[in-house]
Amino acid sequence: MDVSGFIWPVDQSKVVRFTNGTGRGFGDRRSNGARYHAGCDLYAPRKTKVFAVTYGRIVNYYPFYKSGTYPYDYAYCLMINYGHFVMNHGEILRDLPKGIGVGTIVKPGDLIGYLSSCNMQHTEIYCNTETRNKAWYKGSGQPGTLCDPTTFLINLAKSNGVTIA
Ligand SMILES: [Zn+2]
């Protein structure tokens, strides 16, 4: 995919390696092997800004993961349909910036949220018009619409001058 003009989704200049096998990568084991990680984790501190990658429309927003650090800091996911793909901007704070919600039209670099105390954006990509995330359980196979975002994210980091280390 051509990523020119696309924006790295997290406000950071350096990200911890998120490739397969790091524990942060696509397909890495979760829940003692009962399921697989459906995305890539982009680590950054709580309240780091999250940006729209390109032109799109917010299609869903719902509680996603219970964060342990702050009792009321439930991590949400924001699903954006970017036309050629849908991204789950996962594990963001419940409170969204003003004017952001389901139905909002976004452009590259728009502020769409902040990271929760999970201290990462859990990033999933779907290849069609999904509006909810799909869990990847052992035995049931990789959900048909779920794509491996690794190469896309590596290219996006490179084009935005974000170091992966
Ligand atoms: Zn994750």
Residue 52 CA to ligand 1 center (angstroms) comes to 18
C-alpha 95 – ligand 1 centre gap (Å): 20
- pLDDT in the model for residue 117: 87
Distance 44 CA to ligand 1 centre (A): 13
* Its pTM surpasses 0.85: yes
Task: Kindly write down the DSSP assignment for every residue of 120-154, as one continuous string.
Answer: EEEEEEESS---S---EETTT-S-TTEE--HHHHH
* Alpha carbon of 37 to ligand 1 centroid (Å): 6
Distance 24 CA to ligand 1 centre (A): 6
pLDDT in tens, 115-164: 998 999 999 999 878 999 999 999 999 999 999 999 999 999 999 999 99
What domains are there in the chain, each with its CATH number? Answer: 14-164 (2.70.70.10)
Structure confidence at residue 73 (pLDDT): 67
CA 30 remoteness from chain centre: 17
Q: How far is the CA of 146 from the centre of ligand 1 (A)?
A: 14
pLDDT at 137: 95
pLDDT for position 71: 57
Tokens of 86: 């849908």
User: How many other C-beta atoms are found inside a 10 Å radius of the C-beta of residue 19?
Assistant: 15
- The Å distance, Cα 36 to ligand 1 centre, comes to 10
- Across the range 95-121, mean pLDDT stands at 96
pLDDT at 72: 59
6 or 141, which is more confident: 6
pLDDT (tens digit per residue) in 24-80: 999 999 989 999 999 999 999 999 999 999 999 999 999 988 766 665 567 999 999
The Å distance, Cα 115 to ligand 1 centre, comes to 13
Interatomic CA distance for residues 104 and 109, integer angstroms: 14
Alpha-carbon distance of 165 to 26, in angstroms, equals 17
